[in-house]
Chain A
Amino acid sequence: MAEALKVPTMAEYMAEGKKPEVLFWVGCAGSFDDRAKKITKAFVKLLHEAGVDFAVLGTEESCTGDPAKRAGNEFLFQMQAATNIEVLNGYEIEKVVTACPHCFNTIKNEYPALGGNYEVMHHTQFLKALLNEGKLKVEGGKFKGKRITFHDPCYLGRANGEYEAPRDLLRKLEVELVEMRKCKSNGLCCGAGGGQMFKEPEPGNKDVNIERTEQAMEVKPEVIAAGCPFCNTMMTDGVKGKNKEDSVEVMDVAELIANAHDL
């Protein structure tokens, strides 16, 4: 891909006196992590494909405070929340979409009490809505018939009860969707939540991501689909740890849709 993606910012919209339909909250992983950046770009391509009028905060975005809060630093979390809410309210944001379930959960559930009230959607929910509205076409493509299992992100699934949006999208790709022994409300964590992403695990006999990868391998998938940049990292590491990276791919649902249609 030669040309750079067109990614409008809120500041640019503001300068033109316009307001986008939705703010794409990219998140720290989506902005800085090399693997997660690919998810961000895939999602942006889908937004363009569907003709969605969106913008990002760009350099005005900051960590939601999720890892700080769950590590016990309520103070830092609320400082982050207050700053972000000030920015979001300044732009009169009404609708937010994000590809990170942690940002999704925090902005949706924990910002309202601090003065930040927005309609917040996970990107799989947003893509499903685009599909239902007929703005985005998702059917078949190069993953048709492939054996794919979906790993539920804790902060999308158990935390917010969304199990079907990502699965509905995968079904539209006409993949062979197989479920792990532990899925949906019983899904096993990838091991990254609660600040674990940023620290070494406590002493034990195995890493959580290895355990989860083994559960995924039991159903012999060609692709492990994820809906969270942190799960993606953990599962990718797990697959590498099992020396299976040549036969099993870990991909975000947005990447699967974008790639299926060679976007």
Chain B
Amino acid sequence: MQIISQVLFLIALVVGIGFFIRNIRRLLRNIKLGKEVDRSDNKGERFAKMARIAFGQSKMVKKPVSGFLHVIVYVGFIIINIEVLEIIIDGLFGTHRVLSFMGGFYNVLIASFEVLALLVLIGVIVFWIRRNILNIYRFLSRELKGWPKNDANYILYFEMVLMVLFLVMNATDYQLQLNGAPHYASEAGITGSFPVSQFLLPIFEGMSNATLIIIERAAWWLHILGILFFLNYLYYSKHLHILLAFPNVYLSKLQPQGEMNNLQAVTDEVKLMMDPDADPFAAPAEEEEGAEPDKFGASDVFDLNQVQLLNSYTCTECGRCTAECPANQTGKKLSPRKIMMDTRDRLEEVGEIINTKGKYEDNGKQLLDDFILREELWACTTCNACVEACPVGIDPLSIILDMRRYLVMEESAAPNELAIAMTNIENNGAPWPYNQQDRLNWAKEN
């Protein structure tokens, strides 16, 4: 019996982790569909930023209530994973609480897991209430209707169930130890310390050891299978941030937020135009022949860079960006969160085509128009509030700008008034139709 359960456990572990690796491979493959971007500079500064913002949650706590609760769930998640390590060893080798050789320290560990599990449970319940009962602006947006809302709730239910299973497992284990059940009880006394689950004992007191073992084993199995399932649910949900927040912050822009990248392809053209020695009739250099000229800006995920695509997978749809967006607050269609969700959904669509057909075949859709509307793009004031608000260093503005670049430079599709302002800049060096020769007139006026 024991050996069968060990084998079953090994199979579950291999399947669970194997499937997870397959998903991570797909994720990396999809991200690599984007353009390469060099972020190998300033390693020290990047590391410090990651430590501060991702590991240290410095931006999360700017909203004190959700920030504090998130820190609890985050710390709980990390610490309780030490317990998962023990579960895996016990499962593989049929041991009981293998780490208990640590003695007093083990009791402290188990006690702290229990307290954290309770706090996580409370935190997650409050999260559920915030999402479903309180009318919080950022949870009411259009883009959260349907799957995204359900997805968020599934994750919360999952965490609740996992924490309850953990506490039930400990309570029954404790009861079995008290009953002196073989395999559970040890001559040295009680293994572990159960400050929370001890309050569940009245439920289990009268039960026979056989029943208790069934409950304990069921809770143990469901807990670990649940964790393996959750690990694989990540890729299909908004919840990848628990892994991707770290590389995402590391790779985020270090320059001042106001600095927007200069397009090298444009710089080259401008240089050529301004070079008095350039021969306008020169034949293109040989290696360039037949090569497709660089597209300006982005109309699909392939035109974005790999960090922007990573951003889209990292987004956990918290909506802090959207809540701060001046356009969104005043009823415009733009929602920076939707920009990220759309980018991810389109990338996933492309990924699915590659999964089934081996390579991308045009399905008649693209990021622009089929996902992100022009009206959304033109509502942006480039104020950087979304970038500032993101707790994990996502830059929705860079995607908006790249798509505007496509609209203007490839399609000449700027809103009319903007096109006029640009023509003015081109003709007379100011967005208004004033003559450049009148630029100093103010000095002579009273």
Contact = CB atoms under 8 A, between A and B. Distances in A.
Contacts of A73: 405, 408-409, 414, 422
A105 interface: yes
B254 interface: no
Contacts of B408: 71-73
Interface residues of B, number: 70
B262 A208 contact: no
B440 A67 contact: no
A256 to B, nearest CB: 20
Contacts of B273: 79
Contacts of A193: 381-383
Contacts of A2: 446
B332 A78 contact: no
B409 to A, nearest CB: 6
B267 A78 contact: yes
Contacts of A58: 439-440
A79 B269 CA distance: 10
Given A31-B439, A206-B331, A75 B270 contact: yes
Given A110-B259, A202-B378, A7 B332 contact: no
Interface string A1-17: 11011010100000000
A207 interface: yes
Interface string B344-384: 00000000000000000000000000000001001111111
Contacts of A105: 256, 258-259
A185 B384 CA distance: 10
B336 to A, nearest CB: 13
**Taking each of B257, B296, B334, which has the highest tally of chain A beta carbons within 10 Å of its own beta carbon?**
B257
A223 B47 CA distance: 43
Contact of A208 (B326, B417, B438): B326
Given A72-B404, A78-B270, A79-B270, A63 B429 contact: yes
B24 interface: no
A205 interface: yes
Contact of B375 (A82, A114, A187, A202): A202
Contacts of B180: none
Given A75-B269, A207-B330, A110 B431 contact: no
Interface stretch (A131-139, A142-150, A151-159, A247-255): A151-159
A112 B306 CA distance: 25
B13 to A, nearest CB: 45
Nearest to B436: A59
Given A78-B266, A199-B415, A63 B425 contact: yes
B330 A186 contact: no
Nearest to B328: A204
A159 B257 contact: yes
Given A72-B406, A75-B409, A110 B260 contact: yes
List the 9 closest A-B pairs by CB distance, nearest first: A159-B258, A72-B404, A194-B382, A205-B331, A62-B429, A204-B331, A189-B383, A109-B259, A72-B408
15 contacts: A31-B442, A37-B442, A63-B429, A67-B431, A68-B422, A72-B408, A80-B425, A109-B255, A109-B258, A110-B259, A110-B260, A155-B258, A159-B259, A186-B324, A199-B378
Interface of B: 255-260, 262-263, 266-267, 269-271, 273-274, 296-297, 324, 326-327, 329-334, 375, 378-385, 387-388, 401, 403-409, 414-415, 417-418, 420-422, 425-426, 429-432, 434, 436-446
